[in-house]
């Protein structure tokens, strides 16, 4: 197990720093609440949510308390120097978001995104910049344009280039616990096991809690997690560092343990979320008519399965169904999708 370090004693730079946040959705807005008001923040926003933020600011409610923040919101970053850039967009949007920002090569970039390959996308877009990847373990939903509800509090896990990690330590305040991983690539796979709960809510319209409460959908999620655990453990140096409810033991149980034990793992993840319905990021993209990051989640499991020769029929079906819902905008009833899974 790769240890995580709790960072204490947050001290902002004297006089504050200039921070840019690209993407002020559920994750970006939650991070905004933790930034010390002495820092200057410019945010890139879009759509109805962005227009509401420009007009009246952003409201954040829920597990981290109530916040009303008026932020300098723009459609694109100005050609100015920033001391830190936080990129809080979906994995498939990272490259274009960073490229369009015209950053100086010395600017530290903290990318907060789900999915395998998110860090690689950031490095491809800004090969000379110090870059860190953040894994948001907390839950948040866009409740309505201009308002985000934090459904449960949990840490932000960061790893990558030292300068970017140190910048995250400076910018992210104490309201969100910051943990540093020395093995962020494998930690991304630990987070991916959590994100295996994303696809079915995006297909059915259920919350994550409803998905795991239903015995049939819980079995599908567990089988998807089993495929993910198997393909990554088959890779060279593949392991699952402890983050949140996932650790090496639970990953091995998912990969090859008794089925009754494996079924308990998604239940343990949901238990950490509390009672407030959580719809996960993939569902939220569907609800807003946007492309999802499913190719970086279940799609990454399929790709790893091809490399290792391990079949991944559940994840392959999840990818297909999510893309179908992206196209149609229509959630599927359970009896319609049950026929699609190779159980």
| Domain containing residue 333: CATH number | 1.10.1040.10
The pair phi, psi for residue 225, each rounded to 5°, is: -65, -40
The total domain count for the chain is 2
Which among 159, 182, 205 is the end of a domain?
Answer: 182
For residues 178 and 192, state if they share a domain: no
- Structure confidence at residue 38 (pLDDT): 85
Contacts of 42 (CB under 8 A, 6+ apart): 18, 19, 20, 21, 71, 72, 73, 74, 77, 78, 82
In angstroms, the CA 105 to CA 129 distance is 5
Range(s) of the domain holding residue 216? 187-340
pTM beyond 0.95, yes or no? no
For residues 281 and 334, state if they share a domain: yes
- Structure confidence at residue 12 (pLDDT): 37
5-51 pLDDT tens trace: 333 223 334 568 999 999 999 999 999 999 988 899 999 998 999 99
Give me the half-sphere count of Cα atoms (radius 13 Å) on the Cβ side of residue 153: 13
- Structure confidence at residue 8 (pLDDT): 28
- Structure confidence at residue 11 (pLDDT): 37
For residues 55 and 129, state if they share a domain: yes
- Structure confidence at residue 237 (pLDDT): 92
> In the chain, which stretches have pLDDT less than 50?
1-13
- Structure confidence at residue 261 (pLDDT): 97
- Could you tell me the CATH number of the domain that includes residue 68? 3.40.50.720
In angstroms, the CA 340 to CA 336 distance is 8
In angstroms, the CA 14 to CA 239 distance is 40
For residues 155 and 41, state if they share a domain: yes
Q: What's 88's DSSP letter?
A: -
For residues 242 and 141, state if they share a domain: no
For residues 243 and 256, state if they share a domain: yes
- Structure confidence at residue 7 (pLDDT): 31
The residues with which 159 forms a beta bridge, in sequence order, are 133
For residues 178 and 194, state if they share a domain: no
Which among 127, 157, 182 is the end of a domain?
Answer: 182
The first and second tokens of residue 18, run together, are: 């200039």
For residues 57 and 162, state if they share a domain: yes
For residues 51 and 123, state if they share a domain: yes
Three-class SS of residue 85? Answer: strand
- Structure confidence at residue 164 (pLDDT): 97
For residues 156 and 11, state if they share a domain: yes
For residues 161 and 61, state if they share a domain: yes
For residues 209 and 174, state if they share a domain: no
Which among 155, 182, 209 is the end of a domain?
Answer: 182
Put the strands of the sheet holding 156-160 in their side by side order: 4-6, 178-181, 156-160, 131-136, 109-112, 84-87, 18-22, 40-44, 72-74
98-133 pLDDT tens trace: 999 889 999 999 999 999 999 999 999 999 999 999
Cα dihedral across residues 66, 71, 74, 79: positive or negative: negative
């Amino acid at each position: 197990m790769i240890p995580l370090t709790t960072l204490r004693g947050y001290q902002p730079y004297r006089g504050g720093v200039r921070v840019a946040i690209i993407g002020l959705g559920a994750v970006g807005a939650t991070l905004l609440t933790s930034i010390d008001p002495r820092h200057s923040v410019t945010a890139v926003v879009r759509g109805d949510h962005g227009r509401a933020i420009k007009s009246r600011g952003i409201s954040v409610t829920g597990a981290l308390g109530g916040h009303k923040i008026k932020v300098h919101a723009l459609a694109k970053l100005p050609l100015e120097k920033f001391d830190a850039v936080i990129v809080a967009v979906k994995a498939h949007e990272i490259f274009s978001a960073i490229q369009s920002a015209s950053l100086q090569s010395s600017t530290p970039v903290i990318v907060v995104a789900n999915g395998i390959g998110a860090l690689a996308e950031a490095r491809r877009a800004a090969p000379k910049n110090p870059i860190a990847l953040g894994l948001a373990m907390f839950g948040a939903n866009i409740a309505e344009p201009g308002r985000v509800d934090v459904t449960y509090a949990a840490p932000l896990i960061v790893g990558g280039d030292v300068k970017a990690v140190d910048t995250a330590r400076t910018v992210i305040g104490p309201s969100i616990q910051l943990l540093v991983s020395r093995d962020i690539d494998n930690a991304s796979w630990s987070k991916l096991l959590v994100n295996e709960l994303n696809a079915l809510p995006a297909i059915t319209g259920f919350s994550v809690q409803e998905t795991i409460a239903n015995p049939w959908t819980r079995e599908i999620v567990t089988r998807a997690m089993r495929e993910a655990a198997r393909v990554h453990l088959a890779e060279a140096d593949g392991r699952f560092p402890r983050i949140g409810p996932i650790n090496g033991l639970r990953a091995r149980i998912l990969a090859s343990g008794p089925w009754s034990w494996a079924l308990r793992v998604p239940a343990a993840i949901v238990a950490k979320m509390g009672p407030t319905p959580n719809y996960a990021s993939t569902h939220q993209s569907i609800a807003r008519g946007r492309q999802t990051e499913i190719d970086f989640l279940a799609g990454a499991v399929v790709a790893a399965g091809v490399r290792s020769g391990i079949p991944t029929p559940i994840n392959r079906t999840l990818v297909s169904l999510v893309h179908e819902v992206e196209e149609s905008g229509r959630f599927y009833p359970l009896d319609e999708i049950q026929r699609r899974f190779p159980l």
